[in-house]
Structure 1
Amino acid sequence: MTKALLPELKKANGAKVVQITSRAHWFSPFHFGDPNFIDTPYDKWVAYGQSKTAVSLLSVALDELYKKDNIRSFAVHPGSIVTNLSHNLTDEELSEMGAINKNGERGYDSYNNEHKTIKEGAATIVWCAVSQQLAGYGGVYCENGDIAPIATDDTDRIGVKPWAIDKEAALTLWEETPLLFK
């Protein structure tokens, strides 16, 4: 869709594209050799992680290729928000994700108390779309109203994994996208 919108984005002379991803990109880098799990056993969490990594990579590629046209792109993790989208997950799966509290209630994230309401989750999305603090920036991964640090350690569970902002992988995915997802 973003590629189809490029002519209009160029006309805007200052467009920002904000793409929603998530920290689920931590689950997996993008697997160029088998993105559709033809030769690899399907794992829904690897697939989900790979899809979130792909969103971030496509944002990096869009920014790299079109910043000369005054188009900037941002990948955003809005925060851990348990919505009705999780209704197909078991309580055990939600518990493993930290999305169930000690009382068995959905909606709590034990990682850095990162749970947000839908309105709170929208804050970073809006910030990326309108903030002058991001003037001159693009191709970055944002969370909690800021550009995320690179995650070098799995214990803090904050930041972006290097594979989700890798320019070479991003440009490869951009070029191969029509071929990968027929």
Structure 2
Amino acid sequence: MTRLFGAESTTDDVLDGVDLSGKRILVTGASAGLGVETARALAARGAQVVGAVRDLDKGRRASAQVRDQAANGGGLELVQLDLASLASVRACADALNADGRPFDVIIANAGVMACPQGKTADGFETQFGTNHLGHFVLVNRIAALLKPGGRLVNLSSAGHRYADVDLDDPNFDHTPYAEFVAYGRSKTANILFAVEFDRRHKERGVRATAVHPGGIRTELARHMTEEATDALIESINAGQLAAGLPPFTYKTVPQGAATSVWAAIVAAPEEIGGGYCEDCHVAEIVHGQGLRGGVQAYALDPEHAKALWAKSEEMVSERF
């Protein structure tokens, strides 16, 4: 009988009794927050985790607990990856391909949120370029390393409800910049990328999904002031109240990372493939405003996903 998990489940709850010996898993952003916890939980069950981090020194310090708790042959190695630079992304992918060892799972966890307007090294709007295009190039370049039966898990967010992608103006060249609109576009892109990647790879047994971890206090919110955070929570609670739902509460980091490892390891592949997950279950399509649960239909539209894929290839000057 399938065990049921929910919003309060932790990584240890989800992986209780699971043996990951012999599994090899890539986790981006393994130097803080959810990435460290995801790596810890996997290595503690025997997985060989490859943590991709922008700052190797920070990664070594932050991941000491991962190495300390690794068991049953599990372990952690770090590789350098700056998602805001396609040169770094391509160098990381080249190194992984040259190494040649396959992966059972890729968890595209790294990202930025609500940052001031800026550009990546390649001139892309920071959030779209980092959260989506960096992962788009990395994952596609190493896609052949994913074993049949493997999975891709993209970290998205309920923030996808702020905005659909804008394929006519992805870099805000003609649109007034707003931090959360840019964040919403990038998080919608994370879902649409999973939808199209799943379509392209499911015939060989590789499935892809996107997940919302929940609201967690991590470094991700470092660009937000206390006033901005309070205003965001007020707006969320207004939507919750209108829907007859309880007020927003923060998750712990182990609770936040639980949906990632559930989708990567525990959930049935046919259940999560091409979908969007939250609180350790596949979310339903919902309509209306506010940051309540569920997923917006535009984020799962297969034709929209194909169009984003084509636009992304155009932007990075590379076809996959």
Deviation digits for residues 134-162 of structure 1 (CA, Å, limit 9, x no counterpart): 23230100000100011123357110011
Note the C-alpha offset of 1:114. 4.4
Note the C-alpha offset of 1:26. 0.6
Q: In the alignment, does 2:144 pair up with 1:7?
A: yes
- Counterpart position of 2:256: 121
- Counterpart position of 2:102: none
Instruction: Report SS of the residue matched to 1:54.
Output: helix
Note the C-alpha offset of 1:175. 2.0
How many pairs align?
169
Asked if the contact 1:57–1:170 (Cα under 8 Å) also holds between the matched residues in 2, the reply is yes
Distance 2:315 2:259 in 1: 30
Change (3 A) 1:114 1:163: farther
Instruction: Report SS of the residue matched to 2:286.
Output: coil
What fraction of aligned residue pairs are identical, expressed as a percent?
Answer: 36
- Counterpart position of 1:104: none
Note the C-alpha offset of 1:62. 0.3
Asked if the contact 2:157–2:214 (Cα under 8 Å) also holds between the matched residues in 1, the reply is yes
Q: In the alignment, does 2:61 pair up with 1:61?
A: no
Query: Relative CO higher for 1 or 2, CA cutoff 8 Å, sep ≥ 6?
Result: 1
Distance 1:111 1:20 in 2: 24
AA at the equivalent of 1:13: P
Asked if the contact 2:207–2:269 (Cα under 8 Å) also holds between the matched residues in 1, the reply is no
Asked if the contact 1:79–1:114 (Cα under 8 Å) also holds between the matched residues in 2, the reply is no
Deviation digits for residues 76-110 of structure 1 (CA, Å, limit 9, x no counterpart): 001111212212211221012118xxxxxxxxxx9
- Counterpart position of 2:270: 136
User: Aligned ranges for residues 1-182 of structure 1 at < 5 Å?
Assistant: 1-9=138-146, 12-98=147-233, 112-131=247-266, 133-137=267-271, 138-154=273-289, 157-181=292-316
Change (3 A) 1:25 1:155: closer
Q: With structure 2 as the length reference, what TM-score do the two structures score? A: 0.50
Asked if the contact 1:35–1:180 (Cα under 8 Å) also holds between the matched residues in 2, the reply is no
AA at the equivalent of 1:135: P
Over aligned residue pairs, what C-alpha RMSD do you find? 1.9
Q: With structure 1 as the length reference, what TM-score do the two structures score? A: 0.86
Asked if the contact 1:151–1:159 (Cα under 8 Å) also holds between the matched residues in 2, the reply is yes
Structure 2 gaps of 5+ residues are 1-137, 235-244
Distance 2:249 2:282 in 1: 16
